[in-house]
């Protein structure tokens, strides 16, 4: 079980050999270890995932919370060859269950939620934002616990994220991929 070395390029096959219990992400072949989130982060994640789970009952979509592998292949890569994006998003909503296998989802999910921290904000707002937009993720939420704000980016016809809708603690978000879903933010922020 060799750990990744700085400067190396890695794939999903390499990732599977690393120690269990550690959270890693690989973007463009470059691995980074994920630290344990704060209790506030976890409380927000649990509440959002719970609301999605409750409202998705009987619908064709499912919600998953970290740790959950998201592997987005480029072109016709086999699962083991994926190195572009192997992420551990905080929350993922998928509507095509045929791409659920092994340790997570192998394809482009419908919605991704990342909850920022001082150590992840740059990656969430820049690197992952650009990767998820390029991959075609329909809806990307960036949750900022410190400011009690959520920015919702929706993929436009030009395959780019438009200007975000920004929501505060006292708002309700209508989920664009499933308009009948509404997320009440009053109970999300602690």
Paired with 142 in beta bridges are 114, 151
Q: Which DSSP string do the residues of 98-160 spell out, in sequence order?
A: GGEETTEEES--SEEEEE--TTTHHIIIIIHHHHHHHHT-SEEEEEETTTTEEEEEEB-TTSS
pTM of the model: 0.90
User: What is residue 16's predicted lDDT score, i.e. its pLDDT?
Assistant: 83
Structure tokens at 103: 């340790």
Residue 22, in any domain of the structure: no
Residue 128, in any domain of the structure: yes
User: What is residue 2's predicted lDDT score, i.e. its pLDDT?
Assistant: 63
Residue 24, in any domain of the structure: no
pLDDT, averaged in runs of 10, over the chain (190 residues):
68 83 81 83 96 94 93 79 81 96 92 91 90 95 96 97 96 93 92
Residue labelled with tokens 């009440």: 184
Residue 127, in any domain of the structure: yes
User: What is residue 150's predicted lDDT score, i.e. its pLDDT?
Assistant: 97
- Is residue 144 within 8 Å of residue 116, measured between CB atoms? yes
* 92 three-state secondary structure: strand
What CATH number is attached to the domain comprising 136?
A: 3.90.1570.10
User: What is residue 6's predicted lDDT score, i.e. its pLDDT?
Assistant: 64
Residue 110, in any domain of the structure: yes
User: What is residue 10's predicted lDDT score, i.e. its pLDDT?
Assistant: 83
Residue 6, in any domain of the structure: no
Residue 179, in any domain of the structure: yes
Residue 159, in any domain of the structure: yes
Q: Which domain holds residue 140?
A: 35-187
User: What is residue 146's predicted lDDT score, i.e. its pLDDT?
Assistant: 93
Structural domains counted in the chain: 1
């Amino acid at each position: 079980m060799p750990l990744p070395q700085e400067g190396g390029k890695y794939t999903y096959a390499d990732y599977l050999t690393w120690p269990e219990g550690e959270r890693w992400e690989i973007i463009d072949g470059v691995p980074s270890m994920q630290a344990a989130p704060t209790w506030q982060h976890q409380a927000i994640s649990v509440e959002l995932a719970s609301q999605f789970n409750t409202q998705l009952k009987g619908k064709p979509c499912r919600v998953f919370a970290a740790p959950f592998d998201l592997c987005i292949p480029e072109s016709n890569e086999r699962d083991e060859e994926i190195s572009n994006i192997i992420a551990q998003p905080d929350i993922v909503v998928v509507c095509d269950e045929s791409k659920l296998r092994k340790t997570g989802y192998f394809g482009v999910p419908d919605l991704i939620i990342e909850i920022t921290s001082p150590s992840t904000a740059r990656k969430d707002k820049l690197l992952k934002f650009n990767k998820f937009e390029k991959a075609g993720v329909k809806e990307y939420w960036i949750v900022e616990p410190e400011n009690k704000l959520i920015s919702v980016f929706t993929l436009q016809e030009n395959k780019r994220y438009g200007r975000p809708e920004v929501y505060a603690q006292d708002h309700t978000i209508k989920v664009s991929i499933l308009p009948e879903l509404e997320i009440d933010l009053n109970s999300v922020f602690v």
